[in-house]
Structure 1
């Protein structure tokens, strides 16, 4: 479903970006003017190679090279980079999405990388917002990607801010040897995330009419529960846990795997995120039935 005549517009301008496809866009976030532009040339795209190495710690075998990224635009997708003031030639963050088709046009978002020193500047959010606007202009109404279910910062962005949903789980998608510096050899489990950018609940978030999912009086998920709202806790900082207590991190991986697979099998979907509060861990907001695909 694409926006109708009474729906909010979905373009860079309506989402707070000033500029155009050729020169790039500027968006103010956290008091800074962040510049965004499409990476199209081989020279530009080598920045995407470096960022994969620096942020994810992937080997040369596992990174996506510039000579492959050069064809992304031909699929309808885009490689979008963000730059902070004073560093116009050093990308602070990069987002890659390929154009695809599985029953309908969709963008397959492959990776989102932001330098550690540039986090908490709204760069990841800005990259995703611009991806949505560009995707819509190119005829796509759906963006999909995978995400590590243990990462609270990603959960806050994907489900708390963007309004994406998830109801499918994949065990060890990339193998346990993927990005060992980042994951410490743990199984690379992933959630399959769907972002229906023209759905009313998503459009309302993108243009700022609502800021998040309402939080019902939900209780922790338990298999066989009768309630249709539930919470599933995740660790507040999996990276710190991996560094200090890797055995605990692996225990979280296995426990969360079992819980989410059971919840999805009983018809629940992740529809939101609740931050840490009153001494409780952050948590996914779960609801059933899963939101209908528009």
Structure 2
């Protein structure tokens, strides 16, 4: 078996590893276009990408024709010889609608498997509904822990100046990909069957967490805004309230051990947790 996955091409999208300074500089421009960071606080620099690539870590780009439309960077992590941590993945406007993000993760998955790894981890902002759907429903990864203000102040436009709370995802590469990725489900039906809502959002501008509703036996529904990035731009105070409400509601549900709950994410913008113990394997 080759240790290099080689290019992946689907519908005019080609994914390949990057190593030259020119390619890496172009990848930095892609990340700048996606996150629009303070130039003095880029999430990663060309020198670091060059070092990661040279030392055998994962640095890849997605091309549409001759144009770079997205990329991903990951590095080996603990446990040694078992895990890869995906630090950053971004897709530009040019790549939207072409499944570029999905193809990058599939390439990364194959790359990791060919090196004998069993798990890929990464963090994401749990307020961003489309990313929650992609990570949990589309890829079948599992949220395992909630971190408050994980990176500190980021200084990019997407974060809107809010705390950088993150959820850690764990993607088991030994398990099959999910067959049902439509994210369908009726929140009303779940509530009628006895599930409880951990956030009262009858007033969308003032979400209120409700810990008292959550019991070990209950399934739990946790709503998020459909587009928090637009909310951050137009109504930053509302977005900040949602950050705090989701932190209070979500962090107690992401527990390990015998009380771990199963998790899925609906297209309607809702996390759905099973009863305590339903996520134990």
TM-score, normalised by the number of residues in structure 1: 0.78
Q: C-alpha separation between the residues in 1 aligned to 2:136 and 2:265?
A: 6
Residues 102 and 167 (structure 1), Cα distance of their counterparts in 2 relative to 1, 3 Å cut: same
Q: Unmatched 5+ residue regions in structure 1?
A: 1-10, 12-19, 277-281
The 5-angstrom pairing of residues 263-282 of structure 1 reads: 263-265=253-255, 267-269=259-261, 271-276=263-268, 282=269
Q: C-alpha separation between the residues in 1 aligned to 2:156 and 2:24?
A: 24
- Aligned pair partner of 2:98 in 100, 121, 135: 121
Q: Counterpart in 2 of 1:211?
A: 181
Q: Are positions 1:112 and 2:89 aligned together?
A: yes
- Aligned pair partner of 2:165 in 189, 194, 215: 189
Q: Are positions 1:286 and 2:273 aligned together?
A: yes
Q: Counterpart in 2 of 1:55?
A: 34
TM-score, normalised by the number of residues in structure 2: 0.81
Deviations 1:231-259 (A, max 9, x none): 21111001111111111100000000000
Q: Counterpart in 2 of 1:140?
A: 117
For the 8 Å contact 2:183–2:267, the answer to whether it is kept is no
SS in 1 for 2:254: helix
Q: Are positions 1:255 and 2:234 aligned together?
A: no
Deviations 1:107-126 (A, max 9, x none): 01000111134223211111
Q: Are positions 1:180 and 2:150 aligned together?
A: no
Q: Are positions 1:160 and 2:137 aligned together?
A: yes
Q: C-alpha separation between the residues in 2 aligned to 1:191 and 1:212?
A: 22
- Aligned pair partner of 1:27 in 10, 13, 17: 10
- Aligned pair partner of 2:63 in 69, 77, 83: 83
Could you tell me how far 1:137 is from its partner in structure 2? 0.5
User: How many residues are matched?
Assistant: 255
Could you tell me how far 1:270 is from its partner in structure 2? 6.0
For the 8 Å contact 1:232–1:284, the answer to whether it is kept is yes
Residues 49 and 135 (structure 1), Cα distance of their counterparts in 2 relative to 1, 3 Å cut: same
Residues 289 and 120 (structure 1), Cα distance of their counterparts in 2 relative to 1, 3 Å cut: farther
Could you tell me how far 1:71 is from its partner in structure 2? 2.8
Residues 138 and 292 (structure 1), Cα distance of their counterparts in 2 relative to 1, 3 Å cut: farther
